[in-house]
Amino acid sequence: MTPTHREAQVLEPQTRDIKAFSEDQVEERPHQEGVPESPDAVMVSLAGAMALGIEKGKFAREEIVLRGLNVLMTYKENCSANCSYCGMSRERRIPREQTTFIRVKWPVVDLDEVIDRTNQVPHHMRRVCVGMLANHRSFNDSLQVIREFRERTDLLISGLITASLIRSREQLQMIKDAGADRVDIAIDAATEELFEKHRGRPVKGPHRWDHFWWVTEEATKVFEPGTVGIHLVVGLGETEKELLEACHRAQEMGVVTHLFSFNPEPSTLLGDWPQPPLGQYRRCQLGRYLINEMGRDFHRFRFNRAGQVVDFGVAPEELDAVIDSGLPFMTSGCPDEHGATACNRPYGNGRPSEPMRNFPFIPTPKDIEEIRMQLWSDWEGEDDAHDQSALG
Ligand code: SF4
């Protein structure tokens, strides 16, 4: 079959070669001396900084209530990894004060100030996510930051692990002992080939696919069932089938998946790549929800030649009810003490002016109407769709 224009659009990122970037296109960003570093300081997400009164601004929709605080370690040399899509990457050609992550500003704030404000400013946040960078100091520093939050606030704590820093199960136990009740591993790329391309040797990065899955499995032996998660980014060149297969692999291990939509960061290696079509993202959200939250069997899904979902393997009326609930399209993130999503990341996937990809609240009936229009908007049709069982 000759690929259609749309098919070419969907598959185009897979055909681009990261190795095509020449040496003079990438250079280490200037290190900054005399700036605050972890564990004394952390980077705070823009939404968290707004909720704590550190940054001014208001959320684009009145329904948005921030339920989780996201902080990241910070170093003068930034991250020593070089993931092609990431604002923290080593070779991104901008100085640290202009650094963005998932396209928004993350101000560097003294940890004491973050904790004091968490205790003094009225807010609705129930959990803090403490994220590592690939920096040799980051493991110990994140333990220190987790301990500070445990001892000085009443927030639940998640550890966002950089798997390349973990060499033993004991290190995962140390994260738990420090005070985290959950951990997430940002695997990000859905297949080994894409992981290598975007995070491994071709971009001079330290990360290895097998190691990330090994750390994920080890984490399930340390943390309670259902408290380990992975992150996957939609739009790094994978098909929907590959993305949902990775969700299925995690689910088989008792691990939930949190989805992000690729969002190009200027001056990164993927700075000019397009976001995935909304239809692709919606189908991945719906598939993930069915697999993770409803225990549906990935092997009953059917896909077309472009790897797009053709059939989720559930009755039409049931699928309608799931879509109408709006729940699949909400941010999937670590929960509060009642099981509701705490990490709702309002700016996690796009700008306030763009259509919302992960809803930080239950979508309204009008939102559902739009979601329904988006859901199949870029769909190629059924062609000779096959189910998973037929593939063995
Ligand atoms: S390891 Fe994480 S923070 Fe560092 S460049 Fe890769 S994705 Fe970004």
Whether ligand 1 lies within 6 angstroms of the CB of 158 is answered as no
Answer yes or no: pTM beyond 0.95: no
Write the burial class of residue 107 (CB in 10 Å: 0-12 exposed, 13-18 middle, 19+ buried).
middle
CB atoms within 10 A of CB 231: 16
Binned at pLDDT 50, 70 and 90, residue 265 comes out as confident
Whether ligand 1 lies within 6 angstroms of the CB of 43 is answered as no
Domains of the chain: total: 1
Mutate to test the pocket of ligand 1, among 71, 84, 133, 184 (most ligand atoms within 8 A of CB): 133
pLDDT tens track for 358-383: 999 999 999 999 999 999 988 888 87
pLDDT at residue 131 tops 80: yes
Whether ligand 1 lies within 6 angstroms of the CB of 89 is answered as yes
Q: Please report the pLDDT score of residue 31 as a whole number.
A: 55
CB atoms within 10 A of CB 108: 17
Q: Please report the pLDDT score of residue 362 as a whole number.
A: 93
Q: Please report the pLDDT score of residue 90 as a whole number.
A: 79
Region 276-302 average pLDDT:
97
pLDDT at residue 18 tops 60: no
What is the number of helices (H) and of strands (E) in the chain? Answer: 11, 13
Q: Please report the pLDDT score of residue 385 as a whole number.
A: 59
Task: Pick from 71-85, 90-104, 274-288 the range whose average pLDDT is largest.
Answer: 274-288
Q: Please report the pLDDT score of residue 389 as a whole number.
A: 46
pLDDT tens track for 175-203: 999 999 999 999 999 999 999 999 999 99
Q: Please report the pLDDT score of residue 56 as a whole number.
A: 86
pLDDT tens track for 320-352: 999 999 999 999 888 889 888 888 887 666 666
Q: Please report the pLDDT score of residue 388 as a whole number.
A: 57
Whether ligand 1 lies within 6 angstroms of the CB of 187 is answered as no
Residue 164 alpha carbon, nearest atom of ligand 1: 1
Long-range contacts of residues 188-193, Cβ cutoff 8 Å, at least 24 apart:
188/83, 188/85, 188/231, 188/232, 188/233, 188/236, 188/260, 189/232, 189/233, 189/236, 189/238, 190/232, 190/236, 190/238, 190/242, 190/243, 190/245, 190/246, 191/238, 191/242, 191/246
Mutate to test the pocket of ligand 1, among 84, 89, 96, 164 (most ligand atoms within 8 A of CB): 89
pLDDT at residue 88 tops 90: no
SS3 state of residue 105: strand
pLDDT at residue 319 tops 80: yes
Q: Please report the pLDDT score of residue 233 as a whole number.
A: 97
DSSP 222-289: HSPTT-EEEEEEETSS--HHHHHHHHHHHHHTT-EEEEEE--PPTTSTTTTPPPPPHHHHHHHHHHHH
Long-range contacts of residues 28-35, Cβ cutoff 8 Å, at least 24 apart:
28/77, 28/90, 28/91, 29/78, 29/90, 29/91, 29/92, 29/93, 29/94, 29/95, 29/96, 30/95, 31/76, 31/77, 32/76, 32/95, 32/96, 32/97, 33/76, 35/76, 35/96, 35/108
C-alpha of residue 120 to centroid of ligand 1, in Å: 32
Greater pLDDT, 43 or 9:
43
CA-based max dimension of the chain: 63
Whether ligand 1 lies within 6 angstroms of the CB of 308 is answered as no
Mean pLDDT of the chain: 87
C-alpha of residue 335 to centroid of ligand 1, in Å: 24
Q: Please report the pLDDT score of residue 348 as a whole number.
A: 61
Whats the size of the chain, residue-wise? 392
Region 44-61 average pLDDT:
89
| 152 secondary structure, DSSP code | H
Residue 207 alpha carbon, nearest atom of ligand 1: 1
Greater pLDDT, 354 or 41:
41
Q: Please report the pLDDT score of residue 350 as a whole number.
A: 64
Q: How far is residue 204 from each of residues 15, 26, 28, 189, 296, measured CA to CA in Å?
A: 19, 11, 12, 16, 38
Containing domain of residue 385, as a range? 5-391
Cis link prior to 39 (omega < 30° from 0)? Answer: yes
Of the chain, the percentage scoring pLDDT greater than 70 comes to 84
Terminal CA-CA length for the chain = 24
3-17, 23-37, 293-307, 353-367: segment of lowest average pLDDT:
3-17
Mutate to test the pocket of ligand 1, among 70, 83, 195, 196 (most ligand atoms within 8 A of CB): 83
Torsion sign across C-alpha atoms 360, 323, 307, 241 = positive
For residue 51, what is the domain's CATH number?
Answer: 3.20.20
Which residue from 12, 1, 3 is spatially nearest to 262, judged by alpha carbons?
12
Greater pLDDT, 232 or 267:
232
